[in-house]
Chains A and B, each alone.
Chain A
Amino acid sequence: MAALANLADHYNYIITIFLMVAGLYVVIAHGNMIKKLVGLSIFQTSVYLLYIGPAKIIGGTAPIIDAAFGVYSNPLPHVLILTAIVVGVATLALGLALVVRINEAYGTIEEDEIFERDIAE
């Protein structure tokens, strides 16, 4: 029973780590570059959860000051992750532009085929 309560207390961390590991697996194991970048995005969004989860206080509310409320969740991780989201989409756009250029130069976006062509030349 204690183990079950511990699991419920740490469930958000466990799912966060699962998302992180799934993103890592896609980045390593899949050769398709668009799929790789989607995996990288999943890795990034798991970091959002890693920051926002601990910021929550049970019984608290969104950090917008009002006389009707007394307890607020921690606003600092929210600010850090707002920055991270925008930087994440910037890196995704740059990566996808590189994929378009690679596709133009090699005619493929599969890592294995690109390596084969490099060795053949």
Chain B
Amino acid sequence: MISIVNAALLTLLATVTVAIVRQRSLFGVVILAGAYSFLMASLLIALDAVDVAMTEASVGAGISTVVLLATLHLTRTREAPVRRHNLVALLLSVVVGGALVLGTLALPPFGAADAVIHHHVAPHYLANSVRETGVANVVTSVLADYRGYDTLGETTVIFTAGIGVMLLLRSFRGRRRARDDEDGAQ
């Protein structure tokens, strides 16, 4: 059975999502996306994922919001009215949602200790990580030790994305400066 706090946070998340879909002002969308990330972080704490909640609050609600606001500063803040008919998108979404709900019917109930995923490698980590790595926080020991190659791959992805952003925005700044100089000369 799901707790009342979890159910309330889940319902709030769904409400904020509906508001994001309906909001036409992009500034409003960005602020609502920040609220969404904070609700998600609260829910993650309620689900015992404290490390993930910390990351979501700092990266999802912090860095993402700042990056989105910076983009709004460089572009525009109003969404044009939708001209296309959205019936196909709506139909596709409903069909995908229905198929996914059908897929979850056979899943174990929320919070069941006898679910399959709790009997694979997780008991080994919980039983042996303090002895094998000397770290009390199991998430840390799995992230940096047992699955260290995953974290190396993650770092590679961030590095690549950072290079991409720098290349795209550096040329943008250079061209804008050149254009400003031209305007000044005329």
| 8 Å CB interface, B68-124 against A | 68, 70-72, 74-76, 79-80, 82-84, 86, 88-90, 92-94, 96-97, 100-101, 104-105, 107-113, 115, 117-118, 120-122
| 8 Å CB interface, B123-174 against A | 125-126, 129-130, 136-139, 142-143, 147, 150-151, 154, 157-158, 160-162, 164-165, 168-169, 171-172
A12–B90 CB distance below 8 A? no
Binary interface encoding of chain A residues 56-79 relative to chain B, with 1 for a CB under 8 A from any of its CBs, else 0: 111111111110000111111111
Number of B positions contacting A (CB below 8 A):
99
B52 at the interface (CB under 8 A from A): yes
The residue in A38, A92, A94, A112 that gathers the most chain B C-beta atoms within 10 A of its C-beta is A38
Report how far A11 CA is from B14 CA in the complex, Å.
12
Closest to B126 in A: A72
Which residues of B approach A to under 8 Å, CB–CB?
1-2, 6-7, 10-11, 13-14, 17-18, 20-21, 26, 29-30, 33, 36-37, 40, 43-44, 47-52, 55-56, 59-60, 63-64, 67-68, 70-72, 74-76, 79-80, 82-84, 86, 88-90, 92-94, 96-97, 100-101, 104-105, 107-113, 115, 117-118, 120-122, 125-126, 129-130, 136-139, 142-143, 147, 150-151, 154, 157-158, 160-162, 164-165, 168-169, 171-172, 175-176
Report how far A53 CA is from B55 CA in the complex, Å.
17
B84–A11 CB distance below 8 A? no
Binary interface encoding of chain A residues 99-119 relative to chain B, with 1 for a CB under 8 A from any of its CBs, else 0: 111011000011011000000
Q: Which residues of B contact A113 (CB under 8 A)?
A: 80
A99–B154 CB distance below 8 A? no
B113–A57 CB distance below 8 A? yes
Number of A positions contacting B (CB below 8 A):
83
B48–A26 CB distance below 8 A? no
Which residues of A approach B to under 8 Å, CB–CB?
5, 8-15, 17-26, 28-32, 34-35, 38-39, 41-42, 45, 48-49, 52-66, 71-83, 85-94, 96-101, 103-104, 109-110, 112-113
